Structure 1
């Protein structure tokens, strides 16, 4: 069975603790481990990917490695997932560097970049992908601390990472993961959706600011994607119906996002900057 058929709702009801792990998901996400074929589009590039242990980040890491890039993976504390991703990178003949820690702290963001420069000598691609979300049914249910954590993780970290990385980039690409929620905010994801709108605006402004340095800045706006974030941050009854309302009738497998990141990271996208690329299963983003 094709892995996209496996994730057609109804999905098994399931729940995990934050941030969730790949091994506990049913069905297991497909990151392109057995299907992605590279063609040298990123040969010799050096990439940093936050949230690269699982989900979209893992799919992008595998694709980048098979396209010829060395990859540093930043992740919170999901050591088993990160080590699995590193093995796929190394099997592609590329160098993998793992950096655990909390990107909501500015000092850790700077440490990630320092470790990438130590390992690779430079940075060609920065993928700001890590994100935090939680579901809340009412405004009064959102703790102040949760609002602040979501902003520190989802948007402040992008600023800290980009600011630290740019001095080590001679041209290249920054790719930020926003969301369909930037244009169509889901009311039960208020903190998350608000940061995703900020990411889209940050991307447009940064693209203009860095154009003179030959650094392109774009963002990818996924719709529903089957990653550990879903069963760890949504109630089981919502997990069961996840992606059902989209025209294609299902969530995406992470592997279906990776080719867009490869395109934006490659030199072939030399005139693409300030763009939002929607990967939404047929739902228009205006």
Structure 2
């Protein structure tokens, strides 16, 4: 139960980070896309720094949850980020909570609860070897590279979707490294600081954060947020099963799991059509000339 609460709090912190960073990233010049100058420009914006602070809080909460449970349980909880995002946007004046698409929020929440109940993910005791890490990292990096290559040639919301999925893959791999790094705490801080997974986690996290800024700059939350919300749990469950021998229920339960995933997608689609998200002014200030 504690891991579930921490996972939900991490989702709320991620939602706050997305809203603040989107408002800041939308003002960055389009010429900064895929360049370090994008980060340099954002570093001068208090809103973006506030979003980074919220992202750090989410990172700490997620690490605490992963120290108690596996990827297959913790990461799907991050899907709660989208409903939290809607509520945060609704709080921005002159909005109100009555404008939140509560039907979409309810369907997504029911789908998430149904997925966790049907899958009943159990924590695995497997310890990935070098070969398994190489395969997982290469597969993730290969998929990410293909998505970035496609996004490079596209503008607008589609680029935001592609980069949103890319970001989710990166954060899923980051969580996998985090899972191993948190296990090292039982052997003391020295073991943590000398584990290569800690530095791999940092590298994957920084790369994912960079991709997130490009995703937020490229498309509105209408495009980016559902992609972030749905892709991360799917990738994380796959990594949890493949790397850590975590298990989910199969057989007749697969039908309930498919229905639950469909509910998550439906809820995300309903939320994405909300006027709150379509009205860019509700989320971002005017772009600089």
**Does the alignment reach a TM-score above 0.5?**
no
Q: Which has the higher contact order (CA 8 A, sep 6+)?
A: 2
TM-score by length of 1: 0.32
Q: Is the radius of gyration larger for structure 1 or structure 2?
A: 2
TM-score by length of 2: 0.32
Larger helix proportion of the pair:
2
Larger strand proportion of the pair:
1
